[in-house]
Chains A and B, each alone.
Chain A
Amino acid sequence: MVRFVNLTLAGITSGMVFATVALALVLIWRSTRIVNFAQGGMLMVTTFLAWTVVDAGGSYWVALAAALASGLVLGAVIERVVIRPVEDKPPLNAVIVTLGLFVLLQAGAGMVWGDTPHSYPPAFGIRGLSVGGTRLLLSPNDLFVIGAVGAVMIALTVLFVRTDLGLRLRAAAFAPEIARLLGVRVGRMLTLGWALAALVGSLAGVLIAPSVFVGPTQFDAVLVFGFTAAVIGGLDSPVGAVVGGLLLGCALSYVSGYLSSDLVTLGALAALIAVLLVRPNGLFGATTGRRV
């Protein structure tokens, strides 16, 4: 029983990180109908920047701020420079461009920082807390991860639901033509959407860095799991991204704990296929009618 609880706790912690990556993908999918495969590369670069700050003697919090700020800028720049030209082209073009960016960012990071992974300090202790004499797989750092992700989710919900800016962002995503007629600067909103998504992604990078280390290819699995979580949730739904992330996190934790850690990615595949066979558009995705 303790083992099951521990695996669930570990699953929730990693699931929260997957959910964050998934959320970054969902934000971009909702606003531009593009699956951003470059997300893995983008959060890798921002985490490397944070690592550079830590390596130079900066504190954890300065590094986190650097990662978030650089994420914001990177997202906006990428949208303006390479995504804008493919936004109204066939979807495959956008997929290819983001894949190209992913490869380019990976190679670029390898050129600047080298291919050897570096360790990254956690924000708080990683010794599990004890409750009633049993040590749980839940450390103060895990609580920080869960808290940080939760705070970001609440902030995003408030932004999208309660503010004028959020309304404009949603309008630009759902009905760009009408929004433009009503005076919304749609292009600017799309750029902002990408910047926000990249910011969320960069948070995920810093949070997962202590456990996967910082290297050009270290975040590939995070991207795959984040994408899997987003697809399980139904790419259109932020709630789905969170639920998908948590489900996937727990499922992978059980696979790793009860079967073998080598089967984790295969477990993700099984979970994904199981969900998609029942609901081809994900758990929270709307089944859309298609027009002839």
Chain B
Amino acid sequence: MIGTTRQAAAPARAAERARLALGRYRLVRHALGAAAALVALYALTSAVSPYRDLQIAQAAYLTCAVAGLTVLTGLGGQISLGHGAFMAVGAYTTALLLNHRSWPLAAVLAAAVVVTAAAGTAVGAVAARLHGPYLAGATLAFAVGLPGLANYEPLLDLLGGQNGLSVTPPVPPAALGETFPVERWQAWIACLGAVLTLFLLANLVRGRFGRTLRATRDDEIAAALHGVRVARVRIIATVVSAACAGLAGGLLAVATTLAAPGAFPLALSLQLIAAIIIGGLGSLAGAVWGALVLVFVPAWASDLAQSADLSHNIASNLPLALYGLVLIVVTLVFPRGIQGGLRAARTALARRRSPRDDAAHEEAAPHDTAARDTAVHGGDS
């Protein structure tokens, strides 16, 4: 018994060293990935119509919110039904600052992130004490209650009531030419925000913080016994997640040129939850898939309803029905979502290509579990 353990230790140490070496270049790898994504998005947004550009902007800001939520719920195990409300905080902060101060857009968005993070600290401090359904209840009340503030009499002048605050659309720099569409500029801003968010989150969850966060999810008491301050880790996760949602809200205000209570219904928070599940819980790549599904499935459904000449009632509810159906089917049949399905397909393909490696795979498996665990929950960025 002891002999085999010693023998196994040498390759394990080598694997450990390789992983450390890779880790050193992680930052570089993620930066390269982000740069590649920016180039691809530049090519994509330049090739499509302004309408598609707006859809891309929408997918980009939803990606920010979904990625933040997947870190909190997927890696931290803390459910939040209140992320729509965080987006509202970010959107209103952005709208107020843009309308009343002549700050540059980047500073305004940064301020929106800071304000939302502050709100996240308050919510996180409460949420860290709560579990499961109690947490869901508290965040649900938060999601439903907060947008009501906009209609509160004393704040009516400041927040604009039911009509909300309109935002002047951002002006593309003159260097881009007279005919440069505003929608493309909005898409660029939103995409830059999304790529930046994913880059930062990818580094965060692959590092020490991600590991302790997963530890608090998997076994709270064992983590606490190992010196992890569970409450603090959870509050930080909530703050990070809220900050992402705040940026998403700010980008929403810029892309739709409006911040109104109607943009943040309970359905938005539920859609964000739906997106992290459909994409693959805990995976940042899954967050992108989830955001794409949120934007393009309803668009596709309403196109379908129009071409099939359905009645108004059916056509207007078809996207919602599809969400519900997809949520149930994905949870029952593919609990790991799109990203999990893709990964399984890739593994199956690799296996088929080199059947002889199978034995080696099986043998290496025990040392690999830690790495694989990160892969399953952490995802590729």
Interface residues of A (CB under 8 A from B): 29, 35, 82, 85-86, 89, 91-93, 95-97, 99-108, 110-115, 216, 220-221, 224, 227-228, 230-231, 235, 260, 262-269, 272-273, 276-277, 280-282, 290, 292
A104 to B130, CA, bound (A): 29
B192: Cβ under 8 A from any A Cβ: no
What is the total of A-B residue contacts with beta carbons within 8 Å?
160
- The answer to whether B335 and A235 touch across the interface, beta carbons within 8 angstroms, is no
Given A108-B321, A110-B317, A276-B130, also A99-B327 (CB < 8 A)? yes
B121: Cβ under 8 A from any A Cβ: no
Which residue of chain A is the closest to B82 with respect to CB atoms?
A: A269
Which A-B residue pairs are the 8 nearest by beta carbons? A104-B324, A100-B327, A107-B321, A103-B324, A107-B320, A231-B137, A110-B317, A265-B145
- The answer to whether B318 and A107 touch across the interface, beta carbons within 8 angstroms, is yes
Least distance between B343 CB and chain A CB atoms (Å)? 19
B79: Cβ under 8 A from any A Cβ: yes
- The answer to whether A107 and B324 touch across the interface, beta carbons within 8 angstroms, is yes
- The answer to whether B145 and A115 touch across the interface, beta carbons within 8 angstroms, is no
- The answer to whether A29 and B318 touch across the interface, beta carbons within 8 angstroms, is no
B113: Cβ under 8 A from any A Cβ: no
Which residues of chain B are within 8 angstroms of A115 by Cβ–Cβ distance?
A: 313, 316-317
Least distance between A167 CB and chain B CB atoms (Å)? 26
Which residues of chain A are within 8 angstroms of B277 by Cβ–Cβ distance?
A: 96
- The answer to whether B324 and A102 touch across the interface, beta carbons within 8 angstroms, is yes
A264 to B324, CA, bound (A): 28
- The answer to whether B133 and A29 touch across the interface, beta carbons within 8 angstroms, is yes
Which residues of chain B are within 8 angstroms of A85 by Cβ–Cβ distance?
A: 332
- The answer to whether B140 and A235 touch across the interface, beta carbons within 8 angstroms, is no
Which residues of chain B are within 8 angstroms of A106 by Cβ–Cβ distance?
A: 317, 320, 324
Which has the most chain B C-beta neighbours within 10 Å: A85, A97, A101?
A97
Given A100-B274, A100-B328, A268-B145, also A280-B335 (CB < 8 A)? no
Give 13 CB contacts A-B under 8 Å.
Answer: A92-B281, A100-B324, A100-B326, A101-B324, A103-B327, A265-B141, A265-B145, A266-B146, A269-B142, A269-B144, A273-B126, A276-B134, A290-B220
Which residues of chain A are within 8 angstroms of B317 by Cβ–Cβ distance?
A: 106-108, 110-111, 115, 216
Given A100-B274, A276-B129, also A82-B316 (CB < 8 A)? no
Query: Which among A104, A107, A266 is the interface contact of B145 at CB below 8 angstroms?
Result: A266
Query: Which among A35, A86, A113, A269 is the interface contact of B332 at CB below 8 angstroms?
Result: A86
B contacts with A, residue count (CB < 8 A): 52
Which residues of chain B are within 8 angstroms of A99 by Cβ–Cβ distance?
A: 270, 273-274, 327
Least distance between A22 CB and chain B CB atoms (Å)? 11
- The answer to whether A93 and B331 touch across the interface, beta carbons within 8 angstroms, is yes
- The answer to whether A276 and B138 touch across the interface, beta carbons within 8 angstroms, is yes
Least distance between B76 CB and chain A CB atoms (Å)? 12
B153: Cβ under 8 A from any A Cβ: yes
| B263-298 Cβ-contact flags toward A at 8 Å (1 or 0) | 000110010011001000100000000000000000
A111 to B322, CA, bound (A): 12
A231 to B148, CA, bound (A): 21
B366: Cβ under 8 A from any A Cβ: no
- The answer to whether A280 and B130 touch across the interface, beta carbons within 8 angstroms, is yes
- The answer to whether B140 and A95 touch across the interface, beta carbons within 8 angstroms, is no
Which residues of chain A are within 8 angstroms of B73 by Cβ–Cβ distance?
A: 92
B302: Cβ under 8 A from any A Cβ: no
A113 to B312, CA, bound (A): 11
Given A93-B331, A104-B324, also A272-B129 (CB < 8 A)? no
Task: Give the residues from 144 to 197 in chain B that come closer than 8 angstroms, CB to CB, to chain A.
Answer: 144-146, 148-149, 151-153
Which residues of chain B are within 8 angstroms of A93 by Cβ–Cβ distance?
A: 331, 335
Query: Which among A110, A264, A265, A266 is the interface contact of B320 at CB below 8 angstroms?
Result: A110
A224 to B79, CA, bound (A): 16
A99 to B153, CA, bound (A): 33
A268 to B327, CA, bound (A): 28
- The answer to whether A290 and B221 touch across the interface, beta carbons within 8 angstroms, is yes
Which residues of chain A are within 8 angstroms of B319 by Cβ–Cβ distance?
A: 107
Which residues of chain B are within 8 angstroms of A114 by Cβ–Cβ distance?
A: 313
Which residues of chain A are within 8 angstroms of B137 by Cβ–Cβ distance?
A: 35, 227-228, 230-231, 272
- The answer to whether B134 and A281 touch across the interface, beta carbons within 8 angstroms, is yes
B222: Cβ under 8 A from any A Cβ: yes
Which residues of chain B are within 8 angstroms of A95 by Cβ–Cβ distance?
A: 79, 136
Which residue of chain A is the closest to B329 with respect to CB atoms?
A: A100
- The answer to whether A82 and B332 touch across the interface, beta carbons within 8 angstroms, is yes
Given A96-B331, A103-B324, A262-B148, also A91-B316 (CB < 8 A)? no
Which residues of chain A are within 8 angstroms of B21 by Cβ–Cβ distance?
A: none
Least distance between B309 CB and chain A CB atoms (Å)? 15
Least distance between A264 CB and chain B CB atoms (Å)? 7
Which residues of chain A are within 8 angstroms of B142 by Cβ–Cβ distance?
A: 269
Least distance between B193 CB and chain A CB atoms (Å)? 27
Given A111-B313, A272-B138, A273-B126, also A263-B320 (CB < 8 A)? no
Least distance between B231 CB and chain A CB atoms (Å)? 12
Which residues of chain A are within 8 angstroms of B138 by Cβ–Cβ distance?
A: 231, 269, 272-273, 276
Which residues of chain B are within 8 angstroms of A235 by Cβ–Cβ distance?
A: 133-134
- The answer to whether B327 and A96 touch across the interface, beta carbons within 8 angstroms, is yes
Which residue of chain A is the closest to B154 with respect to CB atoms?
A: A260
